[in-house]
Amino acid sequence: MTDGTAPGTYRAGYFATRLAANANREPVWRHICAYLERWIPADADVLELGAGWCDFANLVRARSVTAVDLESVVVTAAASHVRAIVGDCTDLAELDDASFDVVFASNLLEHLERPQSDRLLAEAVRVLRPGGRLILLQPNFRLQPGRYFDDYTHVSIFTDQSLSDYLAAGGWQVEHVAARFLPLSMRSRGSSMAFLVPWYLRSPVKPWAGQMLLVARRPAGADA
């Protein structure tokens, strides 16, 4: 996603247009984090990759939270309790082996070419403790193919089936797949109706769904 001009920057204008600051995101993410707590122990050390505005990192309840993003906005967006790192999510050399219980990423893998996502997953395995979890929130191409490439930085296609298979082939133990989890985007006026999010997450009927949720355990025997 970089334009090659300087470290810590995305393609010119991306954060001002496609990913502009939006006060409506915080109440929405508060509900999402509450829902995800079933997979995130309160005493977990959590790492968010591609954290951006730190919507998840700032709100998730955990022992410690680290947020990594190539864009330097992660430093100013991070709450005081969040460790913010400007860096490449496919190279986590700054982080120790087996130092996290949960790795989370929202709307990230679709921005990466396959060799990059391979490296990201390998790094996730390295920094996760045995039994640690990977939680991915992703656009699901199968649900809204016509809008998938409205974001000009999307370069890879994933569906709930292909992402599950991709992880399983790498030894990840897929625990949970929700093909329909959230609407495709929070950029609409509907993002201001955060009070509807808990109902939406519980409802078996999910109109406008375009995002999927996948939870997987770190590959067993990865240290062998």
Q: Is the pLDDT of residue 101 over 60?
A: yes
pLDDT value, residue 196: 84
Q: In terms of C-beta density within 10 A (0-12 exposed, 13-18 middle, 19 or more buried), how is residue 28 classed?
A: buried
Q: What is the pLDDT of residues 176-191, one digit of tens each?
A: 999 999 997 765 444 5
pLDDT band at 7 (very low <50, low <70, confident <90, very high): very low
Domain that holds residue 77: 25-217
pTM: 0.88
Q: Which of 58, 111, 106 is nearest to 84 (CA)?
A: 58
Q: What's the domain count of the chain?
A: 1
pLDDT value, residue 193: 65
For residues 73-78, give the mean pLDDT. 95
Least confident of 25-29, 73-77, 90-94, 212-216: 25-29
Assigned domain for 198 exists:
yes
Assigned domain for 40 exists:
yes
For residues 189-218, give the mean pLDDT. 85
Assigned domain for 85 exists:
yes
Assigned domain for 222 exists:
no
pLDDT value, residue 194: 77
Assigned domain for 17 exists:
no
In this structure, what token pair is assigned to residue 183?
A: 């609407």
Cβ neighbours of residue 212 under 8 Å, at least 6 residues apart?
A: 137, 138, 139, 140, 143, 159, 160, 163, 177, 178, 179, 180, 181
Q: Is the pLDDT of residue 142 over 80?
A: yes
pLDDT value, residue 178: 97
What's the whole-number average pLDDT of the chain? 88
Collapsing DSSP states into helix, strand and coil, what is residue 159? coil
User: Which domain CATH number covers 193?
Assistant: 3.40.50.150
